[in-house]
Amino acid sequence: MTRVPGSRTLVFCLIAGTGLFWDLFSKTVVFDDLGYTENGRVVEFGRHKIFDRPPGIEGSSVPYIRGWTTFRLFTSFNHGALWGVGQGYSWAFAALSVVAVAGIIYWLFVRKAARSLWLTVALAFILAGTLGNLYDRAGLHGCVDLTGARLYAVRDFLLFTFGGFPWPVFNFADVYLVTGATMLVLQSFRADAHSTTPLQSTPAAATTSSEPPQP
């Protein structure tokens, strides 16, 4: 039986661990510095020691990119999934995240998918993104709403607009999830290409000759 190389486990742990650390660290830094609001009311005032912000506004930085495409930091909470899908079902997505984590470990190290470096990297990105958002959905960030109740929602803060159209606010965990999913799609195309074998060609002389075989 072919074993999973030990280097694959190291690569997987490094990518997943580093990705998870950066996601949680960036969320904490941005939310602590900019603060956050709920329904236009300030819930937590920011420290405002790192990021520039418009005067008297909490939860938003000044635009760092201006023009047809703009970019700023904007703190918000997502009670659903990627791009705000399924609002109000954070608990369900948390449960699915736990299943996804178990599935990734099983696929990589029990079914030996980690023999592929490409799949190892792709699933490491997906695990980092899944754990980063699961941490938030479990309310471990400690953020609260206007009533003081703990928020079981994902912290988002990256905001782009394109031609005045605002892209849904996201975080680095979402970036990891999209990157990993894209790599899996590309892998499926590669697998399909490798599984397709060309038909063997028949020599033209054998198919066009009308002469009977010689005795």
Residues labelled catalytic: 156, 174
Give the total residue count for the chain: 215
CB 15 within 8 A of CB 28: no
Torsion angle of C-alpha atoms 54, 60, 61, 63, degrees rounded to 10: -90
Please give the sequence-ordered ranges of beta strands (E in DSSP) within 34-98, or none if there are none: 35-38, 41-45, 69-78
Helix, strand, coil proportions of the chain in percent (round to 5)?
Answer: 50, 15, 35
**Cα separation of the two ends of the chain:** 53
Quote the radius of gyration of the chain (alpha carbons, Å).
25
Around 22, how many Cα atoms within 13 Å sit in the side-chain half-sphere? 15
Sign of CA dihedral 129, 134, 140, 144: positive
In the chain, how long is the greatest CA-to-CA distance? 101
